[in-house]
A and B are shown apart, each in its own frame.
Chain A
Amino acid sequence: MGTSISGIMGGRLSPADYEKNFTDLHPPLDRHQALVASDRCYFCYDAPCMTACPTAIDIPMFIRQISTGNAVGAAKTIFDQNILGGMCARVCPTETLCEQACVRNTAGDRPVEIGLLQRHATDTAMERDIQFYQRPERTHRRIAVVGAGPAGLACAHRLAMNGHDVIIFDARVKPGGLNEYGIATYKTTDDFAQREVDYLLAIGGIEIRNGQKLGRDFTLGELAENFDAVFLGIGLAGVNALRVEGEQLSGVEDAVDFIAALRQVEDKGDIAVGRRVVVIGGGMTAIDAAVQAKLLGAEEVTICYRRGKEDMNASEFEQELATSKGVMIRHWLQPRRVIGKDGRVAGIEVEYTEMQDGKLSGTGETGILAADQIFKAIGQTFDPASVPNLRLDGGRIAVDAEGRTSMARVWAGGDCVKAGEDLTVTSVAQGRDAAESINQALAAAANSAVAVA
């Protein structure tokens, strides 16, 4: 096919190759594989994996349930702590969380495949559409959730479990947030993000209003006035700029847009990709963009990261995945200038970097990498314009341990808050915990009203 044609173009591969390249990264375990994998769990006391999980799923218990043929019960154990356990099973960097904590590593062995087992359990329950939670009697309390990403969905579900009415406002066309728009295609196939949203909404009492953007279609003040409580799970809307000459040239793109477009497109051949692609950045986004550019047929994909391998936010596993797909990862290089030709990207000038007295600085030595497409993946930023009245911390919304913001009756969680680790699973934990806090606050308010009366 047209892999070697220069310029940015789609249709570099055959339909069969697209299909092959974008299937499930980790194929699910079948029943027998799950039994074998589950038998490797030691059912540790005070299990380190459970401590390592931001949502504190009772991992030894759900694995034991799988091992006894009760995958459905295992799913409930997972969902009790993490209603987005299906997605987390796919996208969690388990190699740095639960599976890193697995004591089998200490034994010089490979860890129990916790992520795959979690997927086995949650898939089993979801495929059979088994619903574990029923809404209790309505409280007639109304809560606004802004953002239908992992934090907002987890918060909404936990609120619904407590009988409250929830309205989720989301700026995008579809709910799911980064689950729908921000995760590499091969990590969540078969429209899983939407299926998961549907599964979660089945509890009832949650209404999603799409195309509703905070600061454009409504204000935080209006929500605070019209609802009993507000939860903000608005993520990171901004993308960091390279701040170098030539950044405006055609062919310089945001990695997040590329990843989102890949998720939404029907035919992968419609996504244009360069022959030579350079990705600037060192996080998961950089890896996801680079790997997928390669899978779309780019001949040469290079990640340039301005620090060393150990500084990369992308896990060791992700880095290995990228190199195994043929991506070249280069360290200690920072962009200096995007080189154009006829108004289009032709290359990028990079400078070697080094640490001097604990500070990163350029060495002055430069070189040019030929490129017809450059992806920026140097981090996303919180855009505070939509929440002008909230106190910020480190450029994100300041919250206390329960997720309360500086404004009364307004909670926040997920990537938009300071404490966020920018992980799906952390967002779920924060959304869930904020919901509990909201529920307690509403209950306390109701009780005090009774006491006064």
Chain B
Amino acid sequence: MADLRNTFAGIKSPNPFWLASAPPTDKAYNVERAFKAGWGGVVWKTLGEEGPPVVNVNGPRYGAIWGADRRLLGLNNIELITDRPLQVNLQEMKQVKMNWPDRALIASIMVPCEENAWKSILPLVEETGADGIELNFGCPHGMSERGMGSAVGQVPEYIEMVVRWCKQYTRMPVITKLTPNITDIRKPARAAKAGGTDAVSLINTINSIVSVDLDSFAPTPTVGGKGSHGGYCGPAVKPIALNMVAEIARDPETYGLPISGIGGITTWRDAAEFLALGAGNVQVCTAAMTYGFKIVQEMITGLSDWMDEKGHRSLDDIIARAVPNTTDWQYLNLNYVAKAHIDQDACIKCGRCHIACEDTSHQAITALVDGVRHFEVLEEECVGCNLCVNVCPVENCITMVGLEPGTLDQRTGKPVDPNYANWTTHPNNPMARQAAE
């Protein structure tokens, strides 16, 4: 059986599945249940300053989008950091850590951007025996209006400054949690690294309005007739998160910086993809909030079974394996030619490939051949765009087949060039022309 033991920024856990800082990790009761279910670690819901805790709305905090059978695809929330007194949280964290010494327990922290605020809370957290801290620079709602959360995460200089304070005032590993509500995720990651962070975690939630109630004409969730933007998460955000993780993983300036991958992880497969793109472990929230803590058992067995099947013995065998294959568009091989191929035995003749290609692409798929309903690729028109593959309802019915070098590309009338050539040297590229001149 594959070894799922994980060491992330020096923090050990029996598996790479942590619960993200969120409602599921707000109390000892929940966290105890999570550990019983098998979670490798938790990031305790974000602690605020000592004093009167924040308050939440007393109406709906969540909104969602669903598939047809009410499968939850995306979740949005306007809940703030913990609304329980700091001391209560700290006492519970300490007790839970004592009860579960083999599990990772991380404290998420969000206090004002003042040195003293951080300096005073860190020893309190350290005293609980927590394995590390996560700096919440991500929440896009509520706290950001008070100069915290994503308001910090959007300013690299602030990130660097706060991380530096934390490294100065605690011996605990520091994980900097990044907001995706920014144009270039590498900038805050570089800043965190410059401040001395031990790791980054991402993504926090995305600014969002999930829907508008068309009777009341108010965004949902609606609180007393009004709605506010919230933080979006769940399966729908996974592609955005994957890209941001990869951006940091392959950035030479942050190369090797541990990344805790977060964003829509619902199954072992999602987790494996994050690990492959450079995440050292993963954090989960929405899937647990949708199905309960038991899902971690599917994640553990699924990841382990897949690793066994593929001969991967430990997480190190898969972490960052897809990073070298992630590149910029300009380095893609323009001499690679693929054509769609429709397996006629698998084709159910729905015609979606045809209409997608006919209406919106390259008119490269027939609808009728000799008066009979028949869907077939016209290689002389096919640019290999893959749209038909994506709209086909039958898995593996349409596949992209790469042409062997030397074979004729019927669209261009030229043989496929065996040599790698990309945009940087392409004659149509004005930059390449300048360089040549």
Contacts and interface: CB of A to CB of B under 8 A. Distances in A.
A binds B: yes
Interface of A: 32, 35-36, 38-39, 42-48, 67, 103-104, 106-107
Contacts of B67: 39
A44 B352 CA distance: 6
Given A36-B69, A38-B68, A67-B68, A45 B348 contact: no
A45 B351 contact: yes
B294 interface: no
A135 B68 CA distance: 38
5 contacts: A39-B69, A42-B352, A44-B349, A44-B350, A44-B351
Contacts, number: 40
B349 A48 contact: yes
B373 interface: yes
Given A36-B68, A39-B67, A45-B367, A106 B349 contact: yes
B352 A43 contact: yes
B66 to A, nearest CB: 10
A39 B350 contact: no
Nearest to B349: A103
Give chain A's interface secondary structure class. helix
B68 A45 contact: no
Interface of B: 67-70, 347-352, 354-355, 367, 373, 393-394
Contacts of A35: 68-69
Contacts of A47: 351
B394 A45 contact: no
Given A36-B68, A106-B348, A46 B393 contact: no
B367 A46 contact: yes
Contacts of B355: 45
B211 to A, nearest CB: 12
B345 to A, nearest CB: 10
A103 B68 contact: no
A104 B349 CA distance: 9
A36, A44, A45: residue with the most chain B Cβ atoms closer than 10 Å: A45
Contacts of A44: 349-352
B185 to A, nearest CB: 34
A16 B100 CA distance: 61
A372 B402 CA distance: 74
A-B pairs, top 5 by smallest CB distance, nearest first, are A45-B351, A39-B68, A106-B348, A45-B355, A103-B348
Given A36-B68, A46-B367, A107 B354 contact: no
Contacts of A48: 349, 373
B342 to A, nearest CB: 14
A287 B347 CA distance: 36
B340 to A, nearest CB: 16
A44 B391 CA distance: 11
Nearest to B392: A42
